[in-house]
Structure 1
Amino acid sequence: MGYPKPPMVLDDDMILVNTFEEAFGDIYPKGVWRELGKKASSNIARYVVALASFIGYKRSFACTGFFIEWNGSTIILTSASLVRSSSDENRIDENLRIEVLLPSKRRTEGRLQHYSLHYNIALVSVEDCRVVRPANVHPSRFGWSKVAAIGHCFESGALMATCGDLVSWSGTLDCQYIVRSTCKITKAGIGGPLVNLDEEVLGMNFCDTRIGTPFLLWTDIDNILAHFREKSKAIEFGSDSVPSGAAFWKMHGDHSGLLNRWPVPMPCWCHREDVHKDKSEDELVSFDPQTGRKRRYGYIQGVKVELY
Structure 2
Amino acid sequence: MGTLGKRSFDQVEESTIDVYKFSSSEVRRLRKACSRQPLFKSKKMNHNIDINTMKAALKTSPAVVSLVSFSGRVMLSQGSGTIIEALENNNIVMTSLNLIRQPLTDSNARFVKNSLAADLKIVVGSFEENSYIGEIVTYDFHYNILFIKFKSKTRLESAKLSMIDDDHSIKLKPGDPVIVVGRYFDRSFELMAAPGCFRKGRCDSSIYDCKELLLAGCHFTRCGDGAPLVNLSGKVIGLVYYEIGPIIPFLPINIVHKLWDHYKIYKYELRHPSFGFEGCNLYSSSLAKLDKLIRRFPSISDGVLIEKVHTGSCAESAGLCVDDIITSCDDKAVTSFLELWSFMWDKVGDTVKLEVVRVKKRTMESIHMVVGEAIPNDLNKWPRFDYM
Give the structure-2-normalised TM-score. Answer: 0.55
1:112 paired with 2:136, answer: yes
Mapped contact 1:50–1:152 kept (Cα < 8 A): yes
Query: Which residue number corresponds to residue 127 of structure 2?
Result: 103
Pick from 22, 44, 66: which aligns with 2:38?
A: 22
1:85 paired with 2:102, answer: yes
Q: What is the one-letter code of the residue matched to 1:163?
A: P
Query: Which residue number corresponds to residue 342 of structure 2?
Result: none
Q: What is the one-letter code of the residue matched to 2:53?
A: L
Give the Cα separation in 2 of the matches to 1:71 and 1:250: 29
Mapped contact 1:80–1:120 kept (Cα < 8 A): yes
Query: Which residue number corresponds to residue 283 of structure 1?
Result: none
Q: Which has the higher helix share?
A: 2
In our comparison, the structure showing a higher alpha carbon Rg is: 2
Pick from 130, 152, 169: which aligns with 2:202?
A: 169
Query: Which residue number corresponds to residue 288 of structure 1?
Result: none
Q: Comparing both chains, which one has the higher relative contact order based on Cα–Cα distances under 8 Å and sequence gaps of 6 or more?
A: 1
- Listed as ranges, the matches of 1:211-226 within 5 Å are 212-226=247-261
Query: Which residue number corresponds to residue 263 of structure 2?
Result: 228
Query: Which residue number corresponds to residue 193 of structure 1?
Result: 228
In the TM superposition, what is the alpha-carbon distance from 1:149 to its structure 2 partner? Answer: 0.9
Q: 1:41 to 1:176 in 2, by over 3 A?
A: closer
Mapped contact 1:21–1:153 kept (Cα < 8 A): no
1:182 paired with 2:182, answer: no
Q: What is the one-letter code of the residue matched to 2:138?
A: H
Query: Which residue number corresponds to residue 46 of structure 1?
Result: 62
Q: 1:202 to 1:63 in 2, by over 3 A?
A: same
Query: Which residue number corresponds to residue 57 of structure 1?
Result: 73
Mapped contact 2:86–2:158 kept (Cα < 8 A): no
Q: What is the one-letter code of the residue matched to 1:127?
A: K
Give the structure-1-normalised TM-score. Answer: 0.68
In the TM superposition, what is the alpha-carbon distance from 1:204 to its structure 2 partner? Answer: 0.4
Q: Which moved more, 1:123-132 or 1:168-177?
A: 123-132
Mapped contact 1:25–1:184 kept (Cα < 8 A): no
Give the Cα separation in 2 of the matches to 1:109 and 1:210: 32
Q: What is the one-letter code of the residue matched to 2:227?
A: G
Give the Cα separation in 1 of the matches to 2:212 and 2:86: 21
Q: 1:147 to 1:228 in 2, by over 3 A?
A: same
Pick from 173, 180, 185: which aligns with 1:149?
A: 180
Q: Secondary structure at the match of 1:188?
A: helix
Query: Which residue number corresponds to residue 289 of structure 2?
Result: none
In the TM superposition, what is the alpha-carbon distance from 1:126 to its structure 2 partner? Answer: 0.6
Query: Which residue number corresponds to residue 379 of structure 2?
Result: 259
1:159 paired with 2:191, answer: yes
Q: Secondary structure at the match of 1:60?
A: strand
Per-residue Cα deviation, 1:182-219 (whole angstroms, up to 9, x for no partner)? 11112111110000111011100001123511000111
Structure 2 unaligned residues grouped into runs of 5+: 1-24, 27-31, 105-111, 166-170, 277-372
Structure 1 unaligned residues grouped into runs of 5+: 3-15, 233-241, 269-308
Per-residue Cα deviation, 1:85-128 (whole angstroms, up to 9, x for no partner)? 11472112241111111112211100000100110111111113
Q: How many residues align?
A: 240
In the TM superposition, what is the alpha-carbon distance from 1:17 to its structure 2 partner? Answer: 10
Q: Secondary structure at the match of 2:196?
A: strand
Q: What is the one-letter code of the residue matched to 1:223?
A: K
Give the Cα separation in 2 of the matches to 1:185 and 1:46: 20
Q: 1:69 to 1:262 in 2, by over 3 A?
A: same
Q: Secondary structure at the match of 2:261?
A: helix
Q: What is the one-letter code of the residue matched to 1:258?
A: D
Mapped contact 1:90–1:259 kept (Cα < 8 A): no
Give the Cα separation in 2 of the matches to 1:19 and 1:166: 30
Give the Cα separation in 2 of the matches to 1:53 and 1:223: 26
Mapped contact 2:57–2:181 kept (Cα < 8 A): no
Q: What is the one-letter code of the residue matched to 1:63?
A: G
- Listed as ranges, the matches of 1:258-297 within 5 Å are 258-267=378-387
Q: What is the one-letter code of the residue matched to 2:68?
A: A
Query: Which residue number corresponds to residue 277 of structure 1?
Result: none
Give the Cα separation in 1 of the matches to 2:34 and 2:213: 22
Sequence identity, in percent?
Answer: 24
